[in-house]
Amino acid sequence: MLQFLIRRLIGAVVIMFLIGAFTFFLFYTIPQDFAALSCGKNCSPENLAVIRENLGLDKPITTQFWEFMTGIVTGRDFPQGHCSAPCLGVSFDSGNFVWDSIVDRFPLTLSLTVGGLVIFLVVGLGSGMLAAWKRGTVVDKIVSGASIVLSSFQIYLLGPIALGIFVYSSGLLDNPKYYPFTENPATWALGLLIPWAVMATIFTAQYTRMSRSTMIEQLQEEHVRTARAKGMSRSYVFFRYAWRGSLIPIVTIIGMDLSALLAGAVVTEFTFDLPGLGRLAVDSSINKDLPLTMGVMLFGAFFILLLNIVVDLAYAYIDPRVRLS
């Protein structure tokens, strides 16, 4: 197990490096002078040269790349001051440290993700299991039908409708806004309630269908029948035997959704005008702000790789057959 973990971590570092290299060199294929972008209009050649030197753009590309990557581990010094590890460089656009911008935006993204996840997991898995338990009945048909209808909605459609109803017409809630959780959990939750609900509505449908179909599949397994033949009650068999087996595909999907959401829920953030990581990523890319784009990319990749490892560990926890091989 430990060997497995070490191997996976080494692999993850290698992949991060490759992603970084790919993004970096891809960016340099754009025929654009980053210093000129940073300098803006009415830029004198002297200013340009200073900026170029400050940003390190006068050095060869490979050196720039090397300095960027080593900076992540050791930290770097810039004219603005020392950028401590993990240093992702300085934004061409704002001149701020990239890491600070990410840290600034991340709590919102994390809040959006965690809140939405809790709702759509509880509701999605719950309704899916209910439908499987009541398979073939009216309950099953309603749940299955609703999940198909809901999954065809989109955030940019449901979002404005929800805002219209709860904010503009009735005034029940304020416009979605992020308040730090540490200050007041209640205002934090109220501020994000609408985005959570809208996200959950759409994601839930997928989990409902997934958990219904895998539960039904598991209930037909022979070992589930054996457990029934031993006299274990239907609910015991349902929750101990069938559910355990249905977790593998569900954990897989959770891992994928979670890492995508942590890297930035772009559509949600734009729909509700919330400044999260997704917006940061899109803005940086539009502004051709290389360090910022690199930073957000690597930050997102980190979560994807981390969750991949976590999912693999979860497999091993769920299924003992995975543990030994």
Partner 1 sequence: MSDNLTLPAQQSPAGASAEPLLTVEGLTKHFPIYGGFPIKRKVGAVQAVDKVDLTVGAGESVGLVGESGCGKSTTGRLITRLLEPTGGKITYAGHDITHASRRELAPIRSEIQMIFQDPYSSLNPRQTVGTIIRSPMEVNGIEPAGGREKRVRELLELVGLNPEHYNRFPHEFSGGQRQRIGVARALALQPKLIVADEPVSALDVSIQAQVVNLLQKVQQEMGIAFLFIAHDLAVVRHFSQRVAVMYLGKVVEVGDRDSIYNRPRHPYTHALLSAVPEVAVDDEPEDRERIRLAGDVPSPIMPPSGCRFRTRCWKAQDKCATEEPPLVRLSDSREGHLTACHFPEEPTTEARDEDIVLDPGLKALEDENAGTD
Partner 2 sequence: MTTLTKTEGATAPTGPEPFLSVRDLRVRFSTEDGIVKAVDGLSFDVERGKTLGIVGESGSGKSVTNLTILGLHNPKTSTVEGEIVLDGQELVTAGEKEMEKLRGNKVAMIFQDPLTALSPYYTVGRQIAEPYMKHTGASKKEARARAIEMLTKVGIPQPKTRVDDYPHQFSGGMRQRAMIAMALVCDPDLLIADEPTTALDVTVQAQILDLLKELQQEVGSAIVFITHDLGVISDMADDLLVMYSGRAVERGSVREVLRAPRHPYTWGLLSSMPRLGGDTAQALNPIPGSPPSLLNPPSGCAFHPRCAFTAEAGGDRCATDRPALADGRAAACHLTADQKQRIFIDTIQPRLR
Residues at the contact surface with partner 2, assessed by CB under 8 A = 135-136, 221-234, 240-241, 244-245, 318-321, 324
CB of 77 to partner 1, least distance (A): 35
Q: For partner 2, which is the closer residue by CB, 120 or 243?
A: 243
Q: For partner 2, which is the closer residue by CB, 18 or 142?
A: 142
Cβ proximity of 86 and 73 under 8 Å: yes
Give the range of 3-11, 119-127, 285-293, 315-323 binding partner 1 by CB under 8 A.
Answer: 3-11
Could you tell which of partner 1, partner 2, none binds residue 44, using a CB distance below 5 to 8 A set by kind? Answer: none
Give the DSSP letter string of 41-56. SS--HHHHHHHHHHHT
CB of 4 to partner 1, least distance (A): 9
Of 33, 34, 61, 35, the residue nearest 47 (C-alpha): 35
Cα distances from 63 to residues 288, 302, 313, in angstroms, run: 20, 23, 38
What is the number of helices (H) and of strands (E) in the chain?
A: 15, 2
Q: What's phi and psi for 114, nearest 5 deg?
A: -65, -45
Q: Which residues contact 240 (CB under 8 A, 6 or more apart)?
A: 227, 232
Q: For partner 2, which is the closer residue by CB, 37 or 216?
A: 216
169 touches partner 1 (CB under 8 A): no
CA distance 184 to 121: 24
Q: For partner 1, which is the closer residue by CB, 9 or 148?
A: 9
Residue type, 176: P
Could you tell which of partner 2, partner 1, none binds residue 3, using a CB distance below 5 to 8 A set by kind? Answer: partner 1
CB of 145 to partner 2, least distance (A): 19
Q: Number of residues interacting with partner 1: please give it, by CB under 8 A.
A: 4
Neighbours of 168 (CB within 10 A): 10
Q: Which helix (H) or strand (E) holds 83?
A: strand 81-83
CB of 7 to partner 1, least distance (A): 6
3 touches partner 1 (CB under 8 A): yes
Could you tell which of partner 1, partner 2, none binds residue 41, using a CB distance below 5 to 8 A set by kind? Answer: none
Draw the binding track, 5-34, toward partner 1 (x: CB under 8 A; -: no contact): -xx--x------------------------
Q: Which residues contact 278 (CB under 8 A, 6 or more apart)?
A: 109, 263, 264, 265, 266, 267, 268, 269, 270
Could you tell which of partner 1, partner 2, none binds residue 73, using a CB distance below 5 to 8 A set by kind? Answer: none
Structure tokens at 72: 């992540």
CB of 3 to partner 1, least distance (A): 5
Q: For partner 2, which is the closer residue by CB, 150 or 318?
A: 318
Give, as one character, the DSSP assignment of residue 134.
Answer: T
Residues near partner 1 (CB under 8 A): 3, 6-7, 10
